[in-house]
A and B are shown apart, each in its own frame.
Chain A
Amino acid sequence: MSESELGRKWDRCLADAVVKIGTGFGLGIVFSLTFFKRRMWPLAFGSGMGLGMAYSNCQHDFQAPYLLHGKYVKEQEQ
């Protein structure tokens, strides 16, 4: 993996982490205010879920650098 590709992967991971943690936090705020009487645990739960999803995405991205995405093509009957 070249250095520029590695840098791009890290940038993608950080952006993904920011978005997912923010989304989890936001959903936690919504559910805390609507259903859970302004408790703190939905915020922590949502942020933690976002962080875990971002970590999983990053891990998959770094551990499968040569993954090719293919598709099935039906054989044409002669």
Chain B
Amino acid sequence: MLSATGLPVIEATSFVSPKWVPQMADQVEVMKGIGRKPGVSYPVLTPNLKGFQAALKAGASEVAIFGAASELFSKKNINCSVEESLQRFEVIMKAAKEAGVPVRGYVSCVLGCPYEGKVAPEKVAHVAKRLYSMGCYEISLGDTIGVGTPGSMIEMLEAVSKEVPVNALAVHCHDTYGQALANILIALQMGISVVDSSVAGLGGCPYAQGASGNVATEDVVYMLHGLGIQTGVDLSKLMDAGAYICRTLNRKTSSKVAQANCKL
């Protein structure tokens, strides 16, 4: 359904061990089962070489790697230090280059960490720079626990844009504290033109029980279209996809636009 909305990139699944993320255990079937729309990219997460090889075998044509700006988060989330993870990623980058597969790099905890608290903008810039110099075509900066505000977003982007050109940056804002759209607006004003979001605001926050996580694609698109910015996305088709997944999951949408529209 998302493939029909005009979205240019849809992150399809994750080639992580099902032991850690059971939800993504059907990664191969999902990859093989989707009807790929021409012109749409379907990147998949590949945390290590094994995942990368499995992804390629399942037909992936773009992958993503996931670093962190916080040492503690890196250790708790992927069981190694930031430096160790970057070395792991170099191996993937090499294989990806040989296979001609583009790689997107993520940096998590860019505006705060659930364990360390405040994260230095310079640390974010350092990790982003490493990923970019390794060959990632784009670096997505993630406010993993949604604690960022326009203040910390500006500070962080100023540091990162000194190391990575702004046209290779994306923002991945969580709406746990309601700040996502304001943070995205600031990022746009700083020259960023790639925004990650999730239909219906799917995905809660594992660090704040019951709180929201990803920003809703519908709400982002509503704001961008209101600003006269093109996205190529059909908002009503997007809302259909959101309605579908919420019905299936038996949960309410986290998108305010979707909530407002279905009740008028």
Q: Are A and B a genuine interacting pair, yes or no?
A: no
A residues at B contact (CB < 8 Å): none
B residues at A contact (CB < 8 Å): none
